[in-house]
Amino acid sequence: MMGDELQLLRDKALDFGIKLSSYQLDLFDIYLTELMDWNQRINLTGLKSGDRIVIELLLDSLIPAPYLPDKGRMLDVGSGAGLPGIPLKIHSPRLSIHLLEANSKKVSFLKQVIRLLNLKDIHAIKGRIEKDKDNLHSEGYHLITARAFASLSKTIVWCSPFLVPDGFLVSFLGSGAEDDLKGCHDILEENHLLIHRKIPYILPGKRIKRNTVIFQKKY
């Protein structure tokens, strides 16, 4: 249905060293179609164009994928429309994922997408990480992602207790990453997080550099 958008995603992902199979592209097709359909009824994203959603949401979510574990327990905090959780699940199907989202309508959307894509070992959970801990994995997570969620300091304080030793926290920081990192030096230290990798990049058609930072929990 969305051949041009799928070709765009395939080609631009390849530019970042991310190869997507025909099967994965089929899943992205279903996801994109459903996202755009629901977006007419509830506010999943302010973006309306398929091309912009592909680049600014789907591709952006995949940027850290080559540097992350492809299996283990993952928590996507403030998942919203499933970003980056669903793209990362499509890319790395062995990940066992919890999508944590406070908005009931968005949780309904996530459950619908999981059904349509026939994804296994991924669950949408209604709640907030700072309040609702009972539904989260008691043994912690190997990977936690936070995209358009909260300030970096709050993200660190709320998420780090749920990371297993050597686990990764992925934060999508945009253009102000260096200032964010400088302001969180002590908080990172208090929460036993080290900067594992900085990924600077510019999305196709954009001019402003973005930064995704991967932290690792070390004692």
CA-based torsion, 49, 52, 56, 59: positive or negative: positive
Residue 176 clears pLDDT 60, i.e. is over it: yes
Rounded Cα distance between 98 and 108, Å, is 14
What's the confidence (pLDDT) of residue 1? Answer: 44
Q: For the chain, which residues make up each domain, given as ranges?
A: 3-217
| Identity of residue 192 | H
pTM over 0.85: yes
Give which of 1, 80, 77, 78 is closest to 42, Cα–Cα.
80
Q: CA of 93: how far to CAs of 60, 122, 176, in Å?
A: 18, 9, 32
List the beta strands (DSSP E) in 3-132: 72-77, 95-101, 122-126
Reported as a single tens digit per residue, the pLDDT across 155-172 is 999 999 999 999 999 999
Collapsing DSSP to helix, strand or coil, 91 comes out as helix
Q: Look at the alpha carbons of 53, 163, 202, 18 in this order and tell me if their dihedral is positive or negative.
A: negative
Own/partner pairs, 66-71, CB within 8 angstroms, 24+ separation: 66/16, 66/17, 66/18, 67/197, 67/199, 67/214, 68/92, 68/143, 68/168, 68/170, 68/214, 69/95, 69/142, 69/143, 69/168, 70/94, 70/95, 71/95, 71/96
Mean pLDDT of 66-92: 97
State the average pLDDT over residues 95-103: 97
Rounded average pLDDT over 22-26:
96
Rounded to whole angstroms, the Cα distance separating 73 from 20 reads 22
The per-residue pLDDT of the chain, averaged, comes to 94
Residue 197 pairs with which residues in a beta bridge?
214
Range 195-211 average pLDDT: 94
Rounded to the nearest angstrom, the gap between the alpha carbon of residue 42 and the centroid of all alpha carbons in its chain is 20
Residue 18 has pLDDT above 80, yes or no: yes
Given this model, what pLDDT does residue 2 score? Answer: 54
The pLDDT value recorded for residue 33 is 94
Residue 192 backbone zone (phi > 0: left; psi -120 to 50: alpha; other: beta): left
Structure token digits, residue 23: 């099967």
List the single range of 30-34, 63-67, 132-136 with lowest mean pLDDT: 132-136
**CATH number of the 3-217 domain:** 3.40.50.150
